[in-house]
């Protein structure tokens, strides 16, 4: 039984190391997104989600360190920080991480499937969902800000450089910065239904989606986000699977009971008293033998009887 428990502890420790590295990776990536260094995720919804992921990743990091301490104290049954109490608290943390991982995985999977469907057939999805409305607002504001400003500073400059390059590489040529900035009146004599005009801010604000830059480059932008969401969904799935395995291992460690020492088995059988147990434990701690204790009667107050044959009595 002890060998099986040692194997489970080894697997548990390996799982905690995986959790540790995964949580560190999530902390770094979510921190980069929250700081606005990834222009594709610089809109407010992405930053808010990244902050939530950052907090949960930090909790997972603490949970990993706490789990390592708990497995080291597994057989400790005394004190406020006994092994079983620490493992139970670690179990609750794993349940919360699993719940959040499932929620995030379902959200990413839903967005991923919808993006794939829009890329294949945009006309079947004319309306935007909540996530796409945030992307639409971010892209439109940034695009028109680039056209109206000669230079941007800070994080907006990095986002502007990314959008200009993205538009030139993947979006229709009529949306390029050089082409549209050279036109002084873009919306006066242009039919936006023909999809041959440059995006116009005033017409876009009035509710004409064809005059908005996001609508003209919708498939390409969602394709870029799709490529970023796929590894995130795979990562969330791996976290969920690892959490389930760690939950099972935690339950096995909690249910393990260490075999009693020989003196405890003798005490439960009624062969020795509590004073004898304390004396044996003192001897084990001191690792030295007092000659006076050897000369004293064994097992406390019990007397040692010596058998004498009838021949010796004669």
Same domain assignment for residues 107 and 170:
no
Burial (CB count within 10 angstroms: exposed 0-12, middle 13-18, buried 19+), residue 196: exposed
Residue 161 is assigned to a structural domain of this protein:
yes
Alpha carbon distance 287, 277 (integer Å): 15
Same domain assignment for residues 231 and 90:
yes
Domain count along the chain? 3
Residue 313 is assigned to a structural domain of this protein:
no
Same domain assignment for residues 89 and 215:
no
Same domain assignment for residues 154 and 296:
no
Alpha carbon distance 92, 105 (integer Å): 20
* pLDDT for res 63: 80
In the predicted model, is pLDDT for residue 292 greater than 60? Answer: no
pLDDT in tens, 109-121: 888 899 989 888 8
Residue at a domain's end among 199, 220, 241? 220
Alpha carbon distance 25, 146 (integer Å): 33
* pLDDT for res 81: 72
Alpha carbon distance 31, 49 (integer Å): 11
Residue 43 is assigned to a structural domain of this protein:
yes
Same domain assignment for residues 116 and 7:
yes
Specify the DSSP class assigned to residue 302. Answer: P
Greater confidence, 54 or 99?
99
Alpha carbon distance 54, 57 (integer Å): 5
Same domain assignment for residues 170 and 149:
yes
Q: Are 163 and 142 in contact (CB under 8 A)?
A: yes
Residue 309 is assigned to a structural domain of this protein:
no
CB within 8 Å of 204: residues ≥ 6 apart: 140, 144, 211, 212, 213
pLDDT in tens, 65-102: 888 888 887 777 676 777 778 888 888 888 888 888 88
In the predicted model, is pLDDT for residue 268 greater than 80? Answer: no
Same domain assignment for residues 207 and 242:
no
Residue 141 is assigned to a structural domain of this protein:
yes
pLDDT in tens, 121-159: 888 888 888 888 888 888 888 888 887 775 555 556 777
Same domain assignment for residues 19 and 166:
no
Alpha carbon distance 10, 3 (integer Å): 11
Greater confidence, 185 or 284?
284
pLDDT in tens, 39-53: 667 667 677 777 877
Diameter over CA atoms, the chain? 139
How open is the CA angle 142-144-148, to the nearest 5 degrees?
A: 115
Q: Crossing angle for the helix pair 218-255 and 44-72, nearest 10 degrees?
A: 20
Same domain assignment for residues 51 and 113:
yes
Same domain assignment for residues 50 and 179:
no
Residue 6 is assigned to a structural domain of this protein:
yes
Task: Write out the residue range of the structural domain in which residue 277 sits.
Answer: 264-301
Residue 241 is assigned to a structural domain of this protein:
yes
Same domain assignment for residues 111 and 197:
no
Q: Give the pLDDT band (50/70/90) at residue 169.
A: confident
The arithmetic mean of pLDDT across residues 213-228, rounded, is: 87
* pLDDT for res 300: 47
* pLDDT for res 35: 74
Greater confidence, 134 or 274?
134
DSSP codes, 129-169: -HHHHHHHHHHHHHHHHHHH-S---THHHHHHHHHHHHHHH
How open is the CA angle 267-273-276, to the nearest 5 degrees?
A: 100
Same domain assignment for residues 80 and 109:
yes
């Amino acid at each position: 039984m002890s060998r099986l428990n040692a194997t489970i502890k080894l697997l548990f420790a390996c799982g905690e190391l995986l959790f540790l590295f995964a949580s560190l990776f999530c902390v770094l990536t979510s921190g980069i997104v929250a700081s606005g260094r990834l222009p594709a995720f610089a809109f407010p919804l992405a930053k808010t989600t990244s902050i939530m992921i950052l907090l949960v990743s930090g909790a997972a990091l603490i949970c990993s360190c706490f789990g390592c301490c708990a497995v080291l104290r597994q057989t400790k049954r005394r004190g406020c920080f006994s092994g079983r109490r620490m493992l139970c608290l670690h179990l609750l943390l794993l349940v919360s991480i699993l719940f959040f991982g499932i929620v995030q995985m379902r959200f990413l999977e839903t967005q991923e499937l919808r993006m794939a469907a829009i890329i294949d057939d945009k006309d079947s999805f004319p309306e935007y969902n909540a996530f796409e409305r945030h992307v639409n607002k971010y892209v439109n504001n940034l695009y028109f800000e680039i056209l109206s400003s000669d230079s941007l500073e800070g994080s907006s400059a990095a986002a502007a450089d990314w959008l200009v390059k993205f538009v030139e590489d993947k979006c229709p040529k009529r949306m390029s910065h050089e082409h549209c900035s050279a036109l002084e009146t873009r919306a006066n004599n242009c039919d936006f239904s023909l999809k041959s005009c440059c995006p116009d801010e005033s017409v876009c604000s009035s509710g004409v989606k064809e005059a908005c830059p996001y609508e003209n480059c919708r498939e390409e932008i969602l394709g870029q986000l799709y490529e970023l969401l796929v590894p995130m969904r795979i990562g969330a799935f791996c976290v969920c699977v690892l959490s389930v395995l760690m939950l099972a291992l935690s339950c096995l460690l909690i249910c393990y009971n260490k075999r009693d020492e020989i003196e405890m088995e003798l005490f439960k059988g009624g062969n020795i008293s509590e004073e004898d147990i304390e004396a044996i434990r003192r001897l084990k701690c001191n690792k030295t033998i007092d000659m006076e204790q050897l000369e004293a009667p064994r097992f406390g107050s019990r007397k040692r009887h010596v058998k004498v044959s009838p021949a010796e009595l004669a």
